[in-house]
Amino acid sequence: MKEVYTFEDLSSRAVLDAGADKPARLAVIGHPIAHSASPRMHQAALDACGVAARYIRIDVEPGHVAEAFERMRDLGFIGCNVTVPHKLEAMANCEVSPGANALGAVNTVCFGGGVTRGFNTDGPGFRNAVEDDFGIDLASLKVVILGAGGGAGQAIATQCVMLGVPKLVVVNRSLEKLGPLVERMRNHGSRSEVIALSFEDLALHEHCLGADLIVNTSSVGLKAGDPSILPDACLRAEHLVYDTIYQPAVTPLLAVAMSVGCRTSNGLSMLINQGALAFQYWFPEAQPLAVMRKALGHLSAG
Ligand code: ATR
């Protein structure tokens, strides 16, 4: 058994399942993919449900997603997860659900019934994470998203607008990257007030102070020595602060937020919730959340 399979390994069952006691029937595809925590939580859920199948990592190079889907379908896969950089390529190669269409990306695929169907559990997973961590409905919150130009930021921003949050402030280093996102969100017909800012905008401070939930979706905080993405003065004790990064478990932004007295959480809950929703597309009766949380417990310590 391999830690990471390749597109070529999808050539036959004999190759794919060599040395394994159970057939691979679910996977996460991405490039690179070696770091993915998805197999650990999905395998735990499969085992807990008594499904004799493996969930594997497959490194698929850009341009090969359609063919990878075809091979997985031919090999009898139930479905797969899709991660960076394939969420758009996946969307172009399956029947897209209305939710995934609105979010502009596919992260979960089902191969049942001879049709390849694509869904997005990132946005709903974030909503559930906020509910789990803070006990509050995301739909009721005034939200600031820092680094909204990236993939995670766009999914969360769109989810907020779909839910009709009263106010959404999207912030990005390069303001021009927010243009198409804001255009899409304003055309959505939602009641949400949407404001786009750069980090240099003097209004950032005031918009942050007026918000309920501040979310970091940028990559700032991943690397040792990164600064906090937000000036300290933009935080007040009443804020809920969510960082989509989960390694390290406490980013510089979360460290400042904790010192101010804010309630905080990190991306582990989003990872688990999007995973649980994906699993339920494949096994609608399953309740995998607790098992998945336990399987990734080692990450909560950072
Ligand atoms: P993805 O791969 O998810 O699409 P990405 O391109 O790595 O994401 O970028 C994620 C976010 O982090 C972007 O919003 C990016 O800002 P830009 O659009 O301006 O590039 C943000 N980001 C990365 N480094 C940053 C930094 N040093 N300061 C502020 N934002 C930063």
Nearest CA among 33, 43, 29, 37 for reference residue 82? 29
Nearest CA among 12, 149, 148 for reference residue 75? 12
Asked whether the beta carbons of 228 and 248 are under 8 A apart, the reply is: no
Q: Which atom of ligand 1 is nearest to the CA of 226?
A: 27
Report DSSP state, residue 228: P
Smallest CA separation from ligand 1 atom 25, residue: 220
Averaged pLDDT of the chain: 96
CA of residue 148 to ligand 1 center, whole Å: 8
Q: Is the CB of 221 under 6 A from ligand 1?
A: no
Residue 302 has pLDDT above 60, yes or no: no
Q: Is the CB of 56 under 6 A from ligand 1?
A: no
pTM of the model: 0.95
Residue percentage of the chain with pLDDT more than 70: 99
Q: What pairs with residue 264 in β-bridges?
A: 241
Smallest CA separation from ligand 1 atom 8, residue: 150
The set of residues, in sequence order, having a beta carbon less than 8 Å from that of 46 and lying 6+ positions away, is 26, 53, 54, 55
Return the pLDDT at 267. Answer: 96
Smallest CA separation from ligand 1 atom 11, residue: 218
Return the pLDDT at 223. Answer: 95
Tens-place pLDDT, residues 69-78: 999 999 999 9
Q: Is the CB of 30 under 6 A from ligand 1?
A: no
Return the pLDDT at 254. Answer: 98
Count of residues for the chain?
A: 302
Set out the domains of the chain in order of their start, with CATH numbers: 5-120 (3.40.50.10860), 123-267 (3.40.50.720)
Return the pLDDT at 188. Answer: 80
Determine whether 87 is an active site residue.
yes
Other C-beta atoms lying within 10 Å of the C-beta of residue 182: 18
Task: Tell me the mean pLDDT in the region 15-21.
Answer: 96
Residue 23 has pLDDT above 80, yes or no: yes
Tens-place pLDDT, residues 86-105: 999 999 999 999 999 999 89
